[in-house]
A and B are shown apart, each in its own frame.
Chain A
Amino acid sequence: MFSLLLSTFEMMAITFLIGFVVAAVIKSIAICADSLELHHSSSSEMKAYGRFERLRMKIAEIMEVNVPLDRTEKLVRDERQDYVKGINKDVDEADEAIEDAAHGVSRGISKFNLMDFYYPRDTRLIFLKRKRAMMKKKPGSPEDENASSNENELK
């Protein structure tokens, strides 16, 4: 009788163990399903990002030809990558007086705007370069002067 009671508890323990293993399997299926769903929902964004990356690489190649080497590095670098790595020019250029300030103290108004964070300088440069190329195709247009002035600003 006692041995059967003991065996019953053992079988109970086995059942609980298997039950929780089954629950873990079900949970992992649910997690996989969720992550797959997330992946599919963002796949269009990922594709667009991929296209943008490829375009950026091509642009970088083109710019290496047209722009001097020292300037290329500066122009091609994607500032968002720097930001991810913790390099923030906005902060680096801040007043040295607040360098030793406690963590969380504001460093004042940023010189950057959202465009600086979301559209790296190289993208804007390419956009302006293309715009200029288009202007050149239409000589005598009133915008031609603006485009060249933009270019001068960038240089």
Chain B
Amino acid sequence: MENIDFFTLFQGFGTMAAGGWVLAVARVFLIALGGLLVYLGWKGVLEPMVMIPMGLGMVAINCGTLFMPGNVLGNLFLDPMLSDTDELMNMMQIDFLQPVYTLTFSNGLIACFVFMGIGTLLDVGFLLQKPFASIFLALCAELGTFLTLPIANFLGLSVGESASIATVGGADGPMVLFTSLMLAKHLFVPITVVAYLYLGLTYGGYPYLVKLLVPKKLRAIKMKNTKPVKNYDAKVKLAFAVILCGVLCFLFPVASPLFFSLFLGVAVRESGMKHIYDFVSGPLLYGSTFMLGLLLGVLCDAKLLLDPKVLKLLVLGITALLLSGIGGILGGYIMYLVKRGNYNPVIGIAAVSCVPTTAKVAQKIVSKDNPESFILGDALGANISGVITSAIITGVYITVIPYL
């Protein structure tokens, strides 16, 4: 017993000392950040479904570092950098989250599951009513996704890495995960973590952006419906899912798993398969989101995030989201001019496809300035279009970027 010193007995502290002060500071910072995320999730400032497991995972992974054989630092959660199949099979029997990570996360399956669940939340009737206006707004709200690409490249990232971080501007977690897996696999952990962290912030940050860019008079605009609102039949929405899935898969086979997952969700919603709908919109969506949050937290190992590129990714991620928000509002202003004042420019922010958060944000802001103004239908149309345009851009990036 006298041969065992304190650091060997309590390896959490031992690894702190052995890893050097930079790693120790980073671990302490991430532990504190994890605790903060749990608190903000609990308070409802950030999305609790992702942030609570993610925060707790960050705390656990940075506290639970231990000495592995060969005296290297490691953990018993998972190792994302394994590529050798023998080693991987070995690890799957040791690290308890390794099977979940290998079989669902690193191949994008969990992103597809989340997308299926999102599909069940989408009422495409709003999009069927005003397709051109909705898609136009959504395209404008991808400004950050486009402009961040050359900016990131200018800051020293490769084209693939730049495209991956630029997709944060689409405000769609599964898209970022999918793009980074395809174009910058070595950086997909920090990029995905940054994306989900910022996506949680849109709920809190975008209202300030809207208030800054749209004067109160315009925020309070009550739109008059020139045409009667139509309620489309379930079979029309089902036809929409089938036709659009076919068209988009035909255009971008590389992103077809995402298109398929999204429209499968829509098809399940509209086909009246109650038990399947209950499963996809409930256990599958919430289970996948929970596991996604947990894996993201566990991936926030200080060792992995001490990449010098992470700081750039943090700056670029927020730039992309900010530019997309500005683009969406600009689109809203263009629609305001086209419709000669009968359009609320706040709807533009809903085109940033964080379903359904940004649509709710838009309605909340408008209701505060004019309780009689109801824009949720148009906002959801733009929101759903945002998901579709994000998927299109993912397809364009994955197809074109390897040739640049």
* Selected interface stretch from A2-10, A52-60, A71-79, A114-122: A2-10
Considering only CB atoms, which chain A residue lies closest to B247 in the complex? A25
Contact A4 B404 (CB under 8 A): yes
| In the complex, per-residue mask of A1-42: 1 if CB is within 8 Å of any chain B CB, else 0 | 100110110011011101111111111011001100100000
| In the complex, per-residue mask of B260-289: 1 if CB is within 8 Å of any chain A CB, else 0 | 000000000000000000000000000000
Interface residues on B, range: 35 or more
Contact B392 A29 (CB under 8 A): no
- B251 lies within 8 A of chain A by Cβ: yes
Considering only CB atoms, which chain A residue lies closest to B153 in the complex? A4
B82–chain A nearest beta-carbon distance, Å: 33
Contact A8 B232 (CB under 8 A): no
Contact B149 A8 (CB under 8 A): yes
| Residues of B close to A1: CB separation below 8 A | 150, 153-154
- B61 lies within 8 A of chain A by Cβ: no
B400–chain A nearest beta-carbon distance, Å: 6
| Residues of B close to A7: CB separation below 8 A | 400, 404
Query: In the complex, A8 Cα to B159 Cα: how many Å?
Result: 11
Known contacts A4-B150, A8-B150, A33-B128; A25/B243 CB under 8 A: yes
Query: In the complex, A33 Cα to B231 Cα: how many Å?
Result: 11
Known contacts A4-B149, A8-B146, A33-B232; A22/B397 CB under 8 A: no
- B230 lies within 8 A of chain A by Cβ: yes
- B45 lies within 8 A of chain A by Cβ: no
Contact A19 B135 (CB under 8 A): yes
| In the complex, per-residue mask of A129-155: 1 if CB is within 8 Å of any chain B CB, else 0 | 000000000000000000000000000
Query: In the complex, A37 Cα to B232 Cα: how many Å?
Result: 10
Query: In the complex, A44 Cα to B147 Cα: how many Å?
Result: 56
Contact of B139 among A4, A15, A26, A33 (CB under 8 A): A15
* Selected interface stretch from B3-11, B105-113, B210-218, B233-241: B233-241
| Residues of A close to B142: CB separation below 8 A | 15
| Residues of B close to A34: CB separation below 8 A | 230
Query: In the complex, A27 Cα to B336 Cα: how many Å?
Result: 21
Contact B393 A15 (CB under 8 A): yes
Known contacts A4-B149, A4-B153, A23-B135; A30/B244 CB under 8 A: no
Considering only CB atoms, which chain B residue lies closest to A37 in the complex? B233
Known contacts A1-B150, A1-B154, A4-B153; A18/B392 CB under 8 A: yes
Contact B132 A27 (CB under 8 A): yes
Contact A30 B232 (CB under 8 A): yes
| Residues of A close to B132: CB separation below 8 A | 20, 23, 27
Contact A4 B128 (CB under 8 A): no
Contact B128 A26 (CB under 8 A): yes
- B138 lies within 8 A of chain A by Cβ: yes
Known contacts A4-B153, A18-B392, A22-B392; A30/B131 CB under 8 A: yes
- B357 lies within 8 A of chain A by Cβ: no
Contact B388 A22 (CB under 8 A): yes
Interface residues on A, range: 20 to 34
Considering only CB atoms, which chain A residue lies closest to B139 in the complex? A19
Known contacts A4-B149, A7-B404, A19-B389; A29/B135 CB under 8 A: no
B105–chain A nearest beta-carbon distance, Å: 28
Query: In the complex, A18 Cα to B138 Cα: how many Å?
Result: 12
A7–chain B nearest beta-carbon distance, Å: 6
Contact A12 B146 (CB under 8 A): yes
| Residues of B close to A4: CB separation below 8 A | 149-150, 153, 159, 404
For residues 118 through 136 of chain B, which have their beta carbon under 8 Å from a beta carbon of chain A? 127-129, 131-132, 134-136
Residue from the set B127, B240, B243, B392 with the largest chain A CB neighbour count within 10 Å = B392
Considering only CB atoms, which chain A residue lies closest to B246 in the complex? A25
| Residues of B close to A16: CB separation below 8 A | 139
A39–chain B nearest beta-carbon distance, Å: 13
Contact B146 A23 (CB under 8 A): no
Contact of B233 among A18, A21, A33 (CB under 8 A): A33
| Residues of A close to B135: CB separation below 8 A | 19-20, 22-23, 26
Query: In the complex, A5 Cα to B392 Cα: how many Å?
Result: 19
| Residues of B close to A19: CB separation below 8 A | 135-136, 138-139, 389, 392
For residues 45 through 83 of chain B, which have their beta carbon under 8 Å from a beta carbon of chain A? none
Contact B131 A26 (CB under 8 A): yes
Contact A22 B243 (CB under 8 A): no
Query: In the complex, A38 Cα to B146 Cα: how many Å?
Result: 42
Residue from the set B131, B147, B243 with the largest chain A CB neighbour count within 10 Å = B131
Considering only CB atoms, which chain A residue lies closest to B393 in the complex? A15
Known contacts A1-B153, A11-B397, A20-B135; A30/B128 CB under 8 A: yes
| Residues of B close to A30: CB separation below 8 A | 128-129, 131, 232, 236
Query: In the complex, A155 Cα to B7 Cα: how many Å?
Result: 122
Query: In the complex, A22 Cα to B247 Cα: how many Å?
Result: 8
Can you add 17 more A-B contacts, CB < 8 Å, to A29-B128, A33-B128, A33-B236? A1-B150, A4-B150, A4-B153, A7-B404, A11-B146, A15-B389, A15-B392, A18-B251, A18-B396, A19-B138, A20-B135, A21-B247, A23-B134, A23-B135, A26-B128, A26-B135, A33-B233
